[in-house]
């Protein structure tokens, strides 16, 4: 499943109202660790059609970053039923990210 772009206008519909668990990757284009994690997120999104995956550019959507206390990036938050249930902060290897996916699916 493709990674969906999420912004201030689409967050409610694509994340909070989604019937599936959603992983949201808060990132910035200039962030080196974000660029390292990006391909891992993309791979997992392809492997796990039961989970929606979205990306939010914190530079373009600072209100959402502030609302969800994103103080450092990359910051991946897992949403279920419109609530944050877990998060991963920083660049982590694919096995660790997959383990988080399993725990939050």
Query: Two tokens at 81?
Result: 């039923």
| Predicted pLDDT at 94 | 85
> Residue 101 is encoded by which pair of tokens?
């996916």
- Which is catalytic among the residues 22, 34, 51, 97? 34
Q: What are phi and psi of 16, to 5 degrees?
A: -65, -35
Sign, CA torsion 56/60/63/68:
positive
- Contacts of residue 89, Cβ cutoff 8 Å, sequence gap at least 6: 72, 74, 75, 76
Examine the pLDDT at 101 and tell me if it is beyond 80: no
Q: What is the pTM of this model?
A: 0.92
Q: What is the pLDDT of residue 44?
A: 86
Is a pLDDT exceeding 80 seen at residue 49? yes
What was the pLDDT predicted at 9? 96
**Which of 81, 55, 82, 49 is CA-nearest to residue 70?**
55
Encoded tokens for 2: 């493709």
Active site residue 31: yes
Told to judge if 34 belongs to the known catalytic residues of this protein, a careful annotator would answer yes
Cα torsion 20, 29, 94, 90 to 10°: value is -90
Q: Does position 1 have pLDDT exceeding 70, yes or no?
A: no
pLDDT tens for each residue of 58-68: 999 999 999 99
**Catalytic: which of 6, 15, 22, 31?**
31
User: Which alpha helices (H) appear in 1-105, and where do they start and end?
Assistant: 11, 32-47, 62-67, 94-104
Phi, psi of 91 (to 5 degrees): -75, 125
């Amino acid at each position: 499943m493709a990674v969906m772009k999420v912004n201030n206008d689409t967050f409610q519909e694509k994340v909070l109202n989604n019937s599936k668990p959603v992983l949201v990757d808060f990132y910035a284009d200039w962030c080196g660790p974000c660029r390292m994690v990006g391909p891992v997120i993309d791979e997992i999104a392809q492997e796990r059609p039961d989970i929606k995956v979205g990306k939010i550019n914190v530079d373009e959507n600072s209100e959402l970053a502030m609302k969800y206390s994103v103080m450092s990036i990359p910051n991946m938050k897992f949403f279920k039923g419109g609530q944050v249930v877990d998060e991963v902060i920083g660049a982590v290897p694919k096995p660790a990210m997959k383990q988080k996916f399993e725990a939050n699916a």
